[in-house]
A and B are shown apart, each in its own frame.
Chain A
């Protein structure tokens, strides 16, 4: 009798611990969907030990330590404290977290999902890493103002279920609008840094890089991409003649490449249902600038990107038809021509090629001419880039 009781107890305990393990695994996967490591894991440092400085348009915010260290981490936070911070942007003392923490998106987590994330973080080795806080100028250092901000920009998340959409769409919409917080970069911001929902998915800026539109625009968005290409891009950082670089390189390695194939397919499926935004036709660029740009392009750019901007798959991005090239803001192409950049290297696309910077070799006028030329050749169309813009 006693033996049988012990047996049942052991089975029960095993079942509980299996459920706990499941919950930890679920929590870990949710941190991948949420790309939490991008901010909270310092490069080369202990997982989720924080301390990384996150640039915002208003100043620096330091990502806190999420390990359960009692002095510098979450060791003394209750489950309710954690949930409130994760989903609603409030500290245990009731104070406000800066929305560099994407709680407007994380509000789409359920309480169970929030608990699973906490269960996962609790399994990590506690690390003493006290750096936290922010370095924002007045008035942004005045956190109480965030009450108004939250009232303006953090309504209760609207339901995502669209009529006539299937479970795949539901899943993709949830990831993109929830944990994946894609719009945090790819939706333009208002002057106060909130999502400009009237222009949702029309492209924004992230740390000085263009986050291109993800809407259905064939020129500046994903209109010309096939669903499978979007999924491949999320898996490898290389598809549709484009290569991931800048902040997206890290999103690929830390988040999307580690998602399940089904989740990447769901995101791609959802993004392909976004409508085309009402585009504006750019005026034709000055012919003299185009002629100068063409001569420079042939000499400096064509050896890799090809005479017709066709590029080389997996090595040199295609410029013809590129959304980044044709975006309203030329920030990324100017930056890349000036400073160069390195594409992400993933297991499936290991090359990780880099483009050299041309600053010092090309002056502002030359860079403006090249940018204008590539934005308006081979079917591309976008506003001309002035010398003054290239100087900035």
Chain B
């Protein structure tokens, strides 16, 4: 029997960055807000204090902060002709679970997308012509521009205290920053982090080749910072336990370290953990969402009526809840029609490993977003015509993840076990590094999500099925970017160098990136998008679908900055326009 609860003004599904940002904005506007989070409550001092957090086995190997496949997973195949199988151990990506979501275990790489990223398709058509794009690419413009998002990028950066060096301040070029970035209204709130040796070597070599290195914009703060709510964040201690870990020093921006202290004091806000939303109730296309059905760890099923429904779970769960609730037309890969599940994309990564005979790099000095980057082969400021691909990559040396269990660098030709291996690890640990290319991922007809016909979750609901492989365009881009990366690597004059290219087929086993995007994409045209430029469902005007599920294709950058900017823009549209006149905003 379903227990019917007292109505609230807004219910939020999933309490990561998106859910927390919406919760703050909506409760701040006076609405009663209830957030439902599938995972447990998490607090800095209780759950990842500095006295306990440096536990590589628990967090990095056993994935303590991410979703358990037994609770929720997906099925996977490379192409439509194959049969998908369930992912029983996470590999390629690590979706968060619990209060704070991925915002707890993220690295803190806080980017803005380039202005050209938001008009990728129209720009490519205008510059390179219709025949330049492969016919099966389904890339789209976003329906929202960089200039429209700029105030919200700015707001998020100041909420978090992001450390970085501006390269383009209101059109003026600043030395030391990214010369290719979109104009920003204000400099970063805190200066860049102190740079360790390895990224400095990379930056020197890149500069020598003629590139423009700059420090990675970082949510691991270079100094203590008080955000606009009066919440204080600490300075990063460069402990190296960042990605896959919570920060015990209050130094990594997360919902816990920026927003939760404010929400905790708001009577109109409440948060229920260990609550899994099963479906969103509604009266059909063109009507309204009525609320959500959820179950908690007692097994009881509840119906929570709400005037506004914010769907801000992880990308996969956003898509699945829309499909399970019958909201929007499901994507059909055969006809190319339908929207929900369409335009899934990812990140095309590759790397180069280097070892030095004469340099001690002290890689244990690390953080999540600590390094030097070049953006010279990203975006569209160079001519892609002769290169034959669209998109690009940023190239970087990041001081991160050099922990003892998962990191054993060895030169090529080293045996994989035994005394020689041990000697090589002991020698190489301090003398080697990895540089990387983080490349864009273009959406295409054969990359999508739908409901699996066979496999179900613990509530007997179909799992989401992911069909994905790298598009030839992206492999071409990645090969080009990796070659440029290797050139910089050679300019660093290492003793040895190994190039790890990205090749098809995509494997879901080795970790690559938790930047799964698309499937409920933003756009100006309801026939090719799920949400309008304010993340409002085209079908139910009181439903907003927030998160990277809105990306029509992926740029090369880490997504959090753009996820947050879209969320804050949606929140402002709701509080300033929708509440006054509920109805379609576009």
* A interface residues, Cβ below 8 angstroms from B: 300, 302-304, 312-316, 340, 342, 345, 347-358, 361
- In the complex, 29 of the A-B residue pairs with CB atoms within 8 angstroms, ordered by the A residue number, are A303-B50, A303-B239, A304-B237, A312-B224, A312-B234, A313-B224, A315-B224, A315-B232, A316-B234, A340-B49, A345-B261, A345-B265, A350-B231, A350-B261, A350-B262, A350-B265, A351-B250, A352-B261, A352-B264, A353-B44, A353-B45, A353-B232, A353-B250, A354-B45, A354-B46, A354-B49, A356-B45, A356-B50, A361-B52
Binary per-residue interface labels of chain B (39-51) against chain A in the complex, 1 for a CB within 8 Å, 0 otherwise: 0000111100111
Q: Are A356 and B232 in contact (CB under 8 A)?
A: no
Chain A residues near B583 (CB, 8 Å)?
none
Decide if B232 touches A340 in the complex (CB within 8 Å). no
- Shortest A363–chain B CB gap in Å is 14
Q: Report which of B45, B224, B230, B264 forms a contact with A349, defined as CB distance below 8 A.
A: B230
Answer whether residue B229 sits at the interface, using C-beta atoms and an 8 A cutoff: yes
Interface centre among B52, B231, B233 (most CB of A within 10 A): B231
B248 at the A interface (CB under 8 A): yes
Contacts of B49 in A (CB 8 A): 340, 354-356
Residue-wise interface mask of B (217-244) relative to A, using a CB-CB cutoff of 8 A (1 in contact, 0 not):
0000000101001111111010100000
A288 and B49 alpha carbons, distance in the complex (Å): 29
* B230 and A315 within 8 A (CB): no
Tell me whether B270 is interfacial, beta carbon within 8 Å.
no
Chain A neighbourhood of B235, CB < 8 A: 312
Determine the residue in chain B with the shortest Cβ distance to A236. Answer: B230
A residues in contact with B51, CB < 8 Å = 300, 356-358, 361
Whole-angstrom CA separation of A315 from B234 in the bound complex: 7
Chain B 67-110 interface 0/1 with A at a Cβ cutoff of 8 Å (1 = within): 00000000000000000000000000000000000000000000
- Bound together, the chains give a CA A110 to CA B45 distance in angstroms of 46
| Pairs of residues from A and B, 3 with the lowest C-beta to C-beta distance, nearest first | A356-B49, A354-B45, A303-B237
Please report the C-alpha to C-alpha distance between residue A348 and residue B265 in the assembled complex, in whole angstroms: 12
Q: How far is the CA of A303 from the CA of B367 in the complex (A)?
A: 13
A302 to B250, CA, bound (A): 14
Complex interface: chain B residues within 8 A of A351 (CB): 230-232, 250, 261
Residue B249 lies at the interface, judged by CB distance under 8 Å to chain A: yes
Query: Closest CB-CB distance, A191 to chain B, in whole Å?
Result: 37
The complex places the Cα of A356 from the Cα of B247 at a distance, in Å, of: 13
For B231, what are the chain A residues with a Cβ–Cβ distance below 8 Å?
Answer: 350-351
Chain A residues whose CB sits within 8 angstroms of the CB of B262 once the complex forms? 350
Give Cα A316–Cα B248 distance, bound, in whole angstroms.
12
**Residues in A whose Cβ lies below 8 Å from that of B230:** 348-351
- Closest B residue to A304 by beta carbon equals B249
Min Cβ gap B40→A in Å is 17
Complex: A184 Cα to B224 Cα, angstroms: 36
By a CB distance below 8 angstroms, the chain A residues around B239 are 303
Q: Please, how many angstroms separate the alpha-carbon atoms of A353 and B261 in the complex?
A: 9
With known contacts A347-B265, A361-B51, A342–B249 Cβ distance under 8 A: no
Interface residues of B in 198-231 (CB under 8 A from A): 224, 226, 229-231
Q: How far is the CB of B168 from chain A (nearest CB, A)?
A: 31
Contact A314 to B264, CB < 8 A, known contacts A303-B249, A342-B45: no
Neighbouring A residues of B43 by C-beta, 8 Å? 354
From B234, B239, B248, name the one whose CB has the most chain A CB atoms within 10 angstroms: B234
Expressed in whole angstroms, the Cα–Cα distance for A350 and B49 within the complex equals 19
Q: In the complex, A18→B166 CA distance in Å?
A: 61
Q: Which residue of A lies closest to B52 (CB)?
A: A356
Instruction: Enumerate chain B residues within 8 angstroms of A314, measured Cβ to Cβ.
Output: 226, 232
Residue of B nearest to A356 (CB): B49
Chain A residues, Cβ within 8 Å of B249: 303-304
Rounded to whole Å, the gap between the CB of B366 and the closest CB of chain A is 13
- Cβ of A348 to closest chain B Cβ, rounded Å: 7
Q: Using a CB-CB cutoff of 8 Å, which residues 239-274 of chain B contact chain A?
A: 239, 248-250, 261-262, 264-265
Question: Do B45 and A340 have beta carbons less than 8 Å apart?
Answer: yes
A300 to B239, CA, bound (A): 11
8 A Cβ contacts from B33-70 to A: 43-46, 49-52
Q: Which of B250-307 contact A (CB under 8 A)?
A: 250, 261-262, 264-265
Q: How many Å from the CB of B163 to the closest CB on chain A?
A: 15
Alpha-carbon gap, A146 to B265, bound state (A): 43
Flag if A350 contacts B44 (CB, 8 Å). no
Q: How far is B250's CA from A312's CA once the two chains are assembled, in angstroms? A: 11
Q: How far is the CB of B210 from chain A (nearest CB, A)?
A: 39
Docked complex Cα distance between A145 and B321 (Å): 71
Chain B residues in 8 Å Cβ range of A361: 51-52
Q: Are A345 and B264 in contact (CB under 8 A)?
A: yes
Closest chain B residue to A347, Cβ basis: B265
Cβ-defined contact, A315 with B265, below 8 A: no
Report B389-432 residues with CB < 8 Å from chain A CB.
Answer: none
Assembly CA distance A214 to B262 (angstroms): 32
- Would A304 and B229 be within 8 Å (CB), given that A342-B45, A354-B44 are in contact? no
A301 to chain B, nearest CB (A): 9
Give min CB distance, A1 to chain B, whole Å: 53
**Most A CB atoms within 10 A — which of B51, B52, B235, B237?**
B51
What A residues does B265 contact at CB under 8 A? 345, 347, 350
CB nearest to B50 among chain A residues: A303
- The interface residues of chain A lying within 8 Å CB-to-CB of B264 are 345, 352
A296 to B314 CA separation, bound complex (whole angstroms): 41
Which residue from chain B places its CB closest to the CB of A341 in the assembled complex? B45
Chain B, residues 349-365, CB within 8 Å of chain A (1/0): the string is 00000000000000000
Q: In the assembled complex, which residues on chain B have CB atoms less than 8 Å from the CB atom of A353?
A: 44-45, 232, 250
Contact B229 A350 (CB under 8 A): yes
> Complex Cα distance A304/B45, Å?
12
Q: How far is the CA of A361 from the CA of B51 in the complex (A)?
A: 8
Distance to closest chain B CB from A16 (angstroms): 35
